[in-house]
Amino acid sequence: MEKTQDHRREKRTEGGTVELKLHLNEDARAVLNAMREGVNIIDADGRIVFGNQAYLDFLNKEAGGDIGPIEGYSLKDLRPGAHLPDVLKGGKPVLHMTRQEVEEFYFVNLYPIYKDGKLKGGVSVITFLEDAYRARQELEAAEARSKQVLRRINKANGARYTFDDIVAVAPAAVHVKELAQRIAGTDATVLLESESGTGKELYAQAIHNASPRSSGVFVAINCANFNANMLESELFGYAEGAFTGAKKGGKIGLFEAAAGGTIFLDEISEMDVGLQAKLLRVLQERRFRPLGAIKEIDMDVRIIAACNASLPDYVAEGKFRKDLYYRLNTFAIHIPPLRERAADIPALAQSILDGFSKKLRRTFTLTQDAIDCLQAHDWPGNVRELRNALEFSAYLSSSGVISRDSLPSGLLNEKVDAGLTLAQRTRAFEKQEIRRMLEKYGSNLEGKKKAAAQLGISLASLYNKLNQPEF
């Protein structure tokens, strides 16, 4: 060791004192000495300008003793395998290089130093294995905490509904509810098939809350709202640098965030065919790989899918993979549309009105003629349309009693037109609209004035119509 050190000193002093072409003041030296990373700086000739204490400790450990001052020596003479002089030749940084010296593993970043466009030297920053391992532990701990926070948020905003919230009186509805309750106790993938507005997410949440995964999160995503690339990154996440515009540090996907819980894939029929292949593999292998990542992640998520389209038709048209359809169709639940379960409407409507009662702090009830009208309607928009109709009636009802005439005119026209002459239909429509305006503005004088103005008639004409025997 002493002989090597003398040899290096001879090279340093050969030809006189060396004039270094890069200088650090004392403050800069103090800052760099405070760092745990090893820092080595050389000038444009490859001579050492500065090595901080962590770097000196590293060299001493490598040499098995104190090698003494290093400033002014050629780095290649001191460490023949050093790569920093090569960075000076290339003029570009080299990042995340893994090195091993004897038994010491470390990671190094190498940078050229420029000033006013001219190369002045280079700097290497060494992260030692112990520090890298500690940083990884801290990063994993932070990631675990972020997942916990995400789970708490999803749990608070996720599955609110249970099977107690599902109204089922009609035999078809009772059968579907019982089937869903039996399947809920398993961990099987479920496919909910139904028209839009029948309450597929309600069933999905109820299944989750009745399952062994009820303590986990429930995450819902509508596949129709994203293009193929966006949906893939939402579901599976991505690594840093996976694509242009990717967030620094990457992004956790819903399959990873929902670990231990349930993910609800609504309108799965609209998923891109290429992405369907990846979903099929996830269902089969129970593993997935985020975009741009190398390592696969085990999947611990129950999948509930839903669609309002005919998947067999989509398969025939080449828009949905047959193998994925069979994989999803093992436990298929068909929720009947509202027109096929008219017996549910009275209880369902009252349940909806009870919700409006809490919101508006008023009690709402339905008259029998209103129920008859609701049961006679075809409900192409299903429960969603029923909710909208009752919300309209609740806001306009001053008494809280919702009669047939309180319902939206679109529901009444079907009844009004049946078996009536044109004159009778006209009078019935006038009666319906007048009552609706009076419900809105009130039956006092001021309310009647507003109703007449809204209807485009005089107050006298309004009184005349109100005084007709059939009113």
Cα 205 to Cα 208: distance, rounded to the nearest angstrom: 5
Domains and CATH numbers, the chain: 2-132 (3.30.450.20), 158-336 (3.40.50.300), 341-466 (1.10.8.60)
Q: Give SS3 for 356.
A: helix
- Token reading at 109: 């970043």
DSSP 399-447: SSEE-GGGS-HHHHHHHHHTT--HHHHHHHHHHHHHHHHHHHH-SSHHH
**Helix (H) or strand (E) segment spanning residue 264:** strand 262-266
**Helix (H) or strand (E) segment spanning residue 219:** strand 218-222
**Contact indicator for 149, 157 with CB cutoff of 8 Å:** no
Supply the DSSP symbol for 251.
B
Cα 364 to Cα 398: distance, rounded to the nearest angstrom: 10
- State which amino acid sits at residue 74: S
Cα 90 to Cα 467: distance, rounded to the nearest angstrom: 99
| Cα distances (angstroms) measured from residue 435 to each of 151, 315, 322, 420 | 50, 51, 55, 20
Place of tokens 């409006």: 356
Secondary structure of 15-33 as H, E, C letters = CCCCCCCCCCCHHHHHHHH
For each successive 10 residues of the chain (471 residues), what is the average pLDDT? 42 52 86 91 92 89 81 88 89 84 75 91 87 66 60 59 93 95 94 92 95 91 89 84 61 87 94 92 89 83 93 93 92 93 93 89 89 88 90 84 83 54 66 74 80 82 73 59
DSSP 140-200: HHHHHHHHHHHHHHHHHHS----GGG----SHHHHHHHHHHHHHHTS---EEEE--TTS-H
Instruction: Write 176-184 long-range contacts (CB < 8 A, 24+).
Output: 176/333, 176/334, 176/335, 176/336, 179/333, 180/206, 180/207, 180/333, 181/210, 183/207, 183/331, 183/333, 184/208, 184/210, 184/211
Alpha helices in 258-344 (DSSP H): 273-285, 311-316, 322-328
Place of tokens 């992260």: 127
Burial class (CB in 10 A: 0-12, 13-18, 19+), 208: buried
Cα 40 to Cα 71: distance, rounded to the nearest angstrom: 10
pTM for the full model?
A: 0.58
